[in-house]
Amino acid sequence: MADAPALHRALVDALVRRGAITDSRVEAAFRAVPRHLFLPRVPLEEVYRDQAIPTKTIDGEAVSSSSQPEIMATMLEQLGLEPGLRVLEIGAGTGYNAALMAHVVGETGTLVTMDIDDDIVDGARAHLDAAGQSRVRVVLGDGGLGYPADAPYDRIILTVGAWDVAPAWWAQLRPGGRLVLPLTVGGSQKTVAFVHAGDHLVSASIKDCVFMRLRGAFAGPPTRVALGDTPDLHLYVRDPARIDPVAAYALFTGPPVDIPTGIHVIGHEVYGGLILWIALREPGFCWLEAIGPTADTQPVPHLFAVPGKFRSAPGVFDGARAGFCMRPPGDSVPAGAEPEPRSFELHIRTFGEDGDTGWRLREHARAWAGAGRPGAAGLRIRALPIDVGYTPGAHEQVVEKRWSRLVLDWPAQTGRDGSR
């Protein structure tokens, strides 16, 4: 363990240098709490890389992890912690995030963390005890129900991706309190810091993120369709029951046509902005994804990838035709491994005879670019109870969920489609 302090210090220094940490309280917490105490069986070199580390899988799918330190720091800064606050965390994981928050709220604060699996709860409790944070209450339960015994809370944070804002989170949040969660919005996830504003929640900060999904009674609707004869290739759509997996696989393994868009982008612009733009306008929005050692050999256009681990691309699928965003043919640099963001010309890979879907995607890309490439920056999201009527304004987009209605707009922009 002789290298642990140096590796720990180097990781935090890098987070500060990149601007992921700007709050002195968050920095102090990261410096005070060693990550390796929460990942005791993981090699130190891996523990102190800025990466997520899966800690539990079910049927080959990761369901719990130690999140990437950079997004942890981002969300803790969004949360706005102070000494003495009452905090509920949904998704205990290893207990590391709870320990960081407990360091900030201090002995006068209250920190409750919960998870849906007893083995995860037991592990988090043991790790917190080893780190000297036995004051943190670790409870077993469905996160969608919150933890009413210690409510109301000044802050609630989710470390799992939520499809909707569950009623319990709203009810257990103190007026003026803050809810931070990775929320599915238009085909991608945004970590949204919502402030309780009486009859609705309004975003104070929005960042891009990727988290595994919330499990339990309040999980989102099923979206995954298995393709082919291996468990490695999946199509994610809004209505899986309408998909013929055999026909879809035949389409995606057929001859493609690649269309240049003339638009140069960086990977995070596509994820943070273009995907939302397309998903709000195309009912057939989808993701095609391959995971595992065979990912590079699957028929997934190359956009987001780590060689030998995963490959994914967003697009539109209508049953007979499909189109997906991708990098230029022959571009082998994976977005997930780029040392620095690199611009590339966005291409569309089409499947099907007339390529109509692909041409529509090209026009979406051009319209998005012409509108100033709207993304998380400048976006405002308001969450209203679904049973409260609402008439959207001329410049607003509405996404209806089960329990809430999300109203999206870019206040600094004047056009409904994000045009200035």
Q: What pTM value is reported for the model? A: 0.92
Q: Is the pLDDT of residue 382 over 80?
A: yes
Answer yes or no: are the C-beta atoms of 168 and 146 closer than 8 Å: yes
Q: Residue 410 in 3-state DSSP?
A: coil
Average model confidence (pLDDT) for the chain? 93
Greater model confidence, 278 or 419: 278
What would the pLDDT profile of 286-310 be if each residue is shown by its tens digit? 999 999 888 999 999 999 998 888 9
Answer yes or no: are the C-beta atoms of 275 and 188 closer than 8 Å: yes
Q: Can 64 be counted among the known catalytic residues?
A: no
Alpha-carbon distance of 351 to 358, in angstroms, equals 8
Comparing C-alpha atoms, which of 167, 151, 170, 178 is closest to residue 218? 167
Alpha-carbon distance of 226 to 234, in angstroms, equals 5
Alpha-carbon distance of 392 to 384, in angstroms, equals 12
Answer yes or no: are the C-beta atoms of 53 and 42 closer than 8 Å: yes
Phi, psi of 254, deg, nearest 5: -85, 180
Which pLDDT does position 420 carry in this prediction?
36
Once rounded to an integer, what is the mean pLDDT over residues 397-418? 80
- 337 — pLDDT class (breaks 50, 70, 90): very low
What would the pLDDT profile of 264-285 be if each residue is shown by its tens digit? 999 999 999 999 999 999 999 9
Domain ranges of the chain: 4-41+58-209, 224-370
Which pLDDT does position 284 carry in this prediction?
95
φ/ψ region of 228 (left if φ > 0, alpha if ψ in -120 to 50, else beta) reads left
Which pLDDT does position 282 carry in this prediction?
95
Which pLDDT does position 355 carry in this prediction?
77
Comparing C-alpha atoms, which of 322, 341, 163, 350 is closest to residue 267? 341
- Does the domain spanning 4-41+58-209 belong to CATH 3.40.50.1000? no
Choosing from 67, 205, 312, 404, which is the catalytic residue? Answer: 67
Once rounded to an integer, what is the mean pLDDT over residues 130-144? 97
8-state DSSP, 271: I
What would the pLDDT profile of 33-88 be if each residue is shown by its tens digit? 999 999 999 999 999 999 999 999 887 778 899 999 999 999 999 999 999 999 99
Q: Is the pLDDT of residue 392 over 60?
A: yes
